[in-house]
Amino acid sequence: MAHAHCKAHKKKPTKGRGEEEERGSEVSEEVSIQKTTMMRAQLHCLCLLTLYLTAGYGQERKFSGPLKPMTFSIFEGQEPSQVIFQFKASPPAVTFKLTGETDGIFQIQPDGLLYHNKALDRETRAVHKLQVSTLDVYGATVEGPVPITIEVKDINDNRPTFLQPNYEGSVRQNSRPGKPFMYVNATDLDDPTTPNGQLIYEIIIQLPKINDVMYFQINNKTGAISLTLEGSRELDPIKNPSYRLVVSVKDMGGQNDHSFSDSTSVNIMVKENIWKAPEPVEIVENSTDPHPIKITQVQWNEPGAQYSLGEKEKLSTLPFSIDQEGGIYVTQPLDREEKDSYVFYAVAKDEMGKPLAFPLEIRVKVKDINDNPPTCPSAVTVFEVQENEDIGSNIGTFIGHDMDEENTANSVLVYKIVDQIPKLPKEGLFLVQTYSGVVQLAGQSLKKQDTPQYNLTIEVSDKDFKTLCHVEINVIDINDQIPIFEKSDYGNLTLAEDTAVGSTILTIRATDTDEPFTGSSKILYRIIQGDSEGRLGIDTDPHTNAGYVIIKKPLDFETVAVHNIVFQAENPEPLVSGVNYNTSSSAKFKLIVTDVNEAPQFSQRIYQAKVREDVAVGTKVGNVTAKDPENLDISYSLRDNTRGWLKIDPATGEIFTTAPLDREAESLYRVQVMATEVGGSSQSSIASFHLTLLDVNDNPPRLAKEYTGLFLCHPLHQEGTLIFEVTDDDQRSFPSPHFSYSLVSESSRNDWEVSRVNGTHAKLSTKHTNFEEGLYSVPIRINDGGRPPLEGVVSLPVTFCTCVEGHCFQPAGHQPGMPTVGMAVGILLTTFLVIGIILAVVFIRIKKNEGKDTVESAQASEAQPLRN
């Protein structure tokens, strides 16, 4: 809208003036007065109207127009005398009339100029409903009233204001962070749908502010105040019972430097948190009182909370419940031996089902009663005691069990022997420690020959229960006898050095008179002399105690030809004091190893080497070594040297090249090396030699295939493109070859261009469309980018031809070896002539044969007599 005042008055003719002159005397005095008034108003606002016509606009962005329903938007607070719109009247209307919610602000000139004479205030009235009518010279309504709507647009001319200068609130310590406990509110008279009325809240001061940490936070849109995570943890009414906040509010969404603001004080009292975990609860197990039984209580800081229990452990059934006053109950008798403690949670939620704070941990311990009798460790407990054991020796420890709580009077066990079977040689041969359960030999030493087994009955009791348990005591023989060999010398044994590993070469035997099938009588054999390399071993038969001497490692005549073996028999159970092994527990034999002529042995089965494919002839590429067990000389030779690339020094095993190598022909060259004894039985052995050829860039690039069918349709309507593939017989580089392309001749470069597509393909393109029909050979130079780089020149044939349905059409022409059309016609005529001659000759011969047959027939008739 225009914002200018008139500075000068100039006369300006009006459209209505000429019309009035034509009417003459028909115009009344009242109309004359209206005309005079209209002229004065027009003169008074001449500058204003001019500015309006250049800057103002209405609903349709026009400055003037016919009378019709319209809506105008005007910012509040503008200076008065602002033009809104110029309405144009249609005859016979000569003047305008304004009615409605003008509030003394809006006026219209007789010529239809609508304006306001005072600043608008949206907060007083946001929309003005006006009506405009047109009148004729007699004051009668010609058109209208037409509704005109004036919308007053808001400007930020009101500051936000808090509803209270001070706010009071309270919060419990450990309240849930982010849950509002109070609100502050501010209002702004500006339009709330615009930034002018959009309010942003902020806490600008917190007193006290400990360690520069904010304990409170505010929702910047709603004014809701809640605790931060730190505030939920740190608030303590004993340390700081109250806090003071200064909260500000800004309009314009807080994003404008020209926004208005207000502030208020908020006083917050910190109350003690009564939402606390109760002390651990003890419940006596197997209670016979009526259930449920209340065991503890929790309470939220405010009334109206909804309580529930949550499980920490996964149980089939949680034997606890909670009522809506926070009372916690046990719902059934508990068994400590089944579960001795419970941990679960009490949860408080609001009416929307959201948690009010962190859950409280509830701990319940089940108190033990003596409701379980002692139990035996097993149906029969078995101990062993050696004969001749000293009096007071511990035989074993008998441990009973009690399911009641450990380290209480309910689980203290007392042991007592109440029976001994047999009572030989006397009763009371054993005793048991009252609280430890240690069983001891009490009366005298035992003899297995007298009684090999005793059965005891032990009473195990706690303060209320008794249980009888059974113990079996076996008297075992002591190891007081040593193994004795059946003979001390097993003589000589001769074996070839190639005797198979695992072979049993000798059986030895010793006896032990201790109790059979015990550790005292079981015999273990070991070699104590003559086999430092561990080539032999001895296995024992568990049933007969026989020993089997076996070969564990190959024998070797060249290393040791004669073994003087000494072995000893021992028991796994230690001998009793005063008894020792002697010469009766050892024996010997002599092992004589005979020589066997063995083939040479290579140091490894496969020898490998790498070499560049361009090495000079005669280069050493590897070496093999073999050794003959009999220390004979060895001669080396090659087998399967199919390409004749290698030779070997027969004496040293060194391998040399004898011809140029070619990786493209064979990248891994395999030969066999034979090592043969010189002299003796000429035994031999074979190893493999693998030679890996490393690539050298010695092959120029070439076309991957023969291209004979490349064509472009003639005439060209646009530049043509052909794709071709290139390869290189050398080893490809990773990830792809680096071929580069260029045209060989200057003339080719005028007509063609070549470029790389990828690692293996290139593109040949025409540079113009002026090609004649026919065959073109395009020479292309290809560089492989190797080290050193190699180039190859290929000729790519391209045919320009007439195309039919996308295929090249070429009329058949004369080709070497093919007859021409004239020749074909001559051959055809000659063929017909020969056929005619043959038919004529055949026809003449047939005629001659028919004439001859007629003459002969007549002569025969004449020679025959007439018959009746």
Per-residue pLDDT reduced to its tens digit, 335-369:
999 999 999 999 999 888 998 888 999 999 999 99
Contact 236, 138 (CB under 8 A): no
Q: How far is it, in rounded angstroms, from Cα 396 to Cα 383?
A: 6
Q: Mean pLDDT, to the nearest integer, of 724-747?
A: 78
Sign of CA dihedral 477, 481, 482, 487: negative
Average pLDDT, the chain: 85
Do 778 and 752 meet the contact criterion of CB atoms below 8 Å apart? Answer: yes
- How far apart CA 640 and CA 625 sit, in angstroms, is 19
Whole-Å CA distances, 15 to 29, 92, 94, 132, 142: 19, 13, 10, 20, 18
- Which has more pLDDT, 712 or 682? 712
DSSP H or E segment with residue 348: strand 341-349
- Between residues 276 and 62, the one the model is more confident about: 276
Beta bridge mates, 310: 345
Quick one: average pLDDT of 765-783?
90
Provide the pLDDT confidence category of residue 733 given band limits of 50, 70 and 90.
low
For the residues 771-785, what does the mean pLDDT come to?
89
End-to-end CA distance of the chain: 159
Confidence at residue 810, expressed as pLDDT on a 0 to 100 scale: 63
> Which residues 6+ apart lie within 8 Å of 164 measured at CB?
184, 264
Mean pLDDT of 425-431: 92
Q: What's the rounded Cα separation, in Å, for the pair 192 and 67?
A: 34
State the Cα–Cα distance between residues 356 and 323, nearest whole angstrom.
17
* CB distance 493 to 589 below 8 Å: yes
Which of 321, 347, 318, 345 has the alpha carbon at shortest distance from 334? 318
Q: What is the pLDDT of residues 285-300, one digit of tens each?
A: 999 999 999 999 999 9
How many other C-beta atoms lie within 10 A of the C-beta of residue 73?
Answer: 12
- Of 780, 747, 777, the closest CA to residue 762 belongs to 780
pLDDT > 70 fraction of the chain, expressed in percent and rounded:
88
Closest residue by Cα to residue 302 from 120, 156, 389, 179: 179
Order of strands, sheet of 668-677, starting from the edge strand that comes earlier in the sequence = 606-612, 684-694, 668-677, 634-639
Q: How confident is the model at residue 838 (pLDDT cuts 50, 70, 90)?
A: confident
- CB of 184 closer than 8 Å to CB of 225: yes
- Provide the token pair at 616: 């000079």
So what's the pLDDT on residue 156?
Answer: 86
- Is the predicted pLDDT of residue 820 greater than 60, yes or no? no
Q: Do the beta carbons of residue 35 and residue 20 sit within 8 Å?
A: yes
Q: What is the pLDDT of residue 856?
A: 44
CA dist list (Å): 845 to 199, 636, 834, 841, 842: 134, 90, 17, 6, 5
pLDDT exceeds 50 at position 39: no
Strand-strand pairing, 70-75 and 106-108: unpaired
Q: Which helix (H) or strand (E) holds 675?
A: strand 668-677
pLDDT by residue (tens digit) across 623-647? Answer: 999 998 878 889 999 999 999 999 9
Asked if residue 462 has pLDDT above 90, the reply is yes
- Picking from 58-72, 208-222, 780-794, which range would have the lowest pLDDT averaged per residue? 58-72
302 vs 207, which has greater pLDDT? 207
CA distance 38 to 45: 11
Three-state secondary structure call for residue 234: helix
The answer to whether the CB of 457 falls within 8 A of the CB of 419 is: yes
pLDDT range class, residue 6, cuts 50, 70, 90: very low
pLDDT band at 41 (very low <50, low <70, confident <90, very high): very low
The 10s digit of each residue's pLDDT in 680-709 is: 677 889 999 999 998 887 788 888 888 888
pLDDT of the residue at 825: 67
24 band by pLDDT with thresholds 50, 70 and 90: very low
What is the percent of the chain where pLDDT is above 90?
55
Buried/exposed 660-697: b ≥16 CB within 10 Å, e otherwise: ebbbeeeeebebebbbbbeeeeebbbbbbbebebebbb
Is 857's pLDDT higher than 70?
A: no
User: In the structure encoding, which two tokens stand for residue 215, read together?
Assistant: 């304990």
Please give the pLDDT value at position 735.
Answer: 55
* Cα–Cα distance measured from residue 483 to residue 509, given in angstroms and rounded to the nearest whole number: 10
CA 794 distance to own-chain centroid: 50
3-state secondary structure 255-306: CCCCCCEEEEEEEEEEECCCCCCCCCEEEECCCCCCCCEEEEECCCCCCCCE
Listed range (223-237, 606-620, 664-678, 793-807) with the worst mean pLDDT? 793-807
For residue 3, the model assigns a pLDDT of 37
- Work out the pLDDT band at 573, boundaries 50, 70, 90: confident
Please report the beta strands in 37-178, taking only residues with DSSP state E, as ranges in sequence order: 64-66, 70-75, 82-88, 95-100, 106-108, 113-116, 127-135, 141-153, 161-162, 166-172
pLDDT grade for 812, boundaries at 50, 70 and 90: low
Q: How far apart are CA 527 and CA 504, in angstroms?
A: 15
**Stretch 484-513: mean pLDDT:** 93
Query: Which pLDDT tens digit goes with each residue over 517-566?
Result: 888 889 999 999 999 999 999 999 999 999 999 999 999 888 898 999 99
